[in-house]
Chain A
């Protein structure tokens, strides 16, 4: 039961039963008459309390980030908050040696995730969708990394990358002093090393999303295309793939958001130093690092906020518009 509803969301909500549509217009009036005062109070609390918690901790905080981005503040007492206009941003864009590399790394992160694990996940999903034996076993193997914490993944991959005792260097004989390949320390290598670990995890995630999408494909489409004499690739290319459009949208949004959120893996690897700077790491550095430059950290957060809203808003608008139309 839950699987069925699963594959239908979020488009699922787009198809309320026909009777529901008329009930919709009718209901509020009927309710208003029937609800007692106590009922209305309870309803208000039920909707109000969670909304307040969410608004206060998420949205008010986001707005506060924007406000703080135009100030400097050392965090000691409110008196030291000073309005500085665009100074933080000016400094960020021109003076900070870590900012542009971080932006670049976030972009690289996204490009790699969308070019390698995403098609690979789709490919695996298509293979596993063929109703083959042991499908569940394979699925579990690919999906296991998604279940494990990013922090744990970081430690596991350190065992692979460690210059001295790691799997790779031991295998290729680069674990002797003087021959070290420092996968984690070398600024030219470490981003790619983390990205392999990130892609490893992302593939399983994408595979599950595509598997769900493929379950929703109408079997008669396949039959029709087989009758027309299309081969496997043609069927996929011209019949199956176009029907996966909603899944592709979700995959794109998820991948962008994941690349903006990327944090744990890098933080465990090397704290985001030399070659693996990310926007998320820069924000965090301003909080738990030595320097507490709140306004400056907020300015980076605002950059992150603007990029993510640029993705979130169009996605939600199109999703909800579809929902309304029906």
Chain B
């Protein structure tokens, strides 16, 4: 009898150890992107403690994973960075296709080029990058990138850009008709010339504090994301999201699990939880970006009538994972611009 008890005790200890490791889940997501209400609900439901850290650019997330042992169980990069992370072997194969969450995903987001086998990622939110104007500063039409890149008199010196080239260069390419990830120097020189000509009218290249800067009319036009414009407009700012005829830059963020994550099971559990219809709706209402999973439409807050930002009528082109040669040209444009 005694050896058995001992074995039982040893098993109990052995089981208790991983249970302890399973007790926490570390998220690395876009800043303020996950509904705090849902995190509390998940903690109450599962007893898992959730820690969150935020990033402000895909590059930051990639750099952290490349530096190794990030300590995170879930990261939420955009589509082109999901592709890069998969190619670089930075992600855990979570068999996304077999998760309950996968059944909730809209068919149009399945089997995409960044994760054709649906092995690594479950989409969380999608939207566009464009620009918004403050109507107290500028009243003219906002149907073209020309307003942003070659500002009219009211916006001179009152345009603000982002501190990273990723989406900004993409927008310039849409405006000029240059394909994304172009490796053609002559074409990229055109992008550089456009941004250089715009620079005297740019007040700041900054991805921080945009809401404040645009809402208080410190600047009149700002490069920004659809849902953030929506939220700030709902808070009473007199701003409008442009629908440039040349198109908007599209993005889709997904849940992925870094290779070697301590709590893969907890991560899967969280992804499934976030994709349940009721929770996805709460998340949609909180985050104000379009949802790639099924929603409870009776409870969804945003419709084409009250949130035109989320339902653009102009073409949307998704950022791609550029080759190193193309990325070097993007960097050259940016470094020469800010040298």
Chains A and B form a bound pair: no
| B residues whose Cβ falls under 8 Å from a Cβ of A | none
| A residues whose Cβ falls under 8 Å from a Cβ of B | none
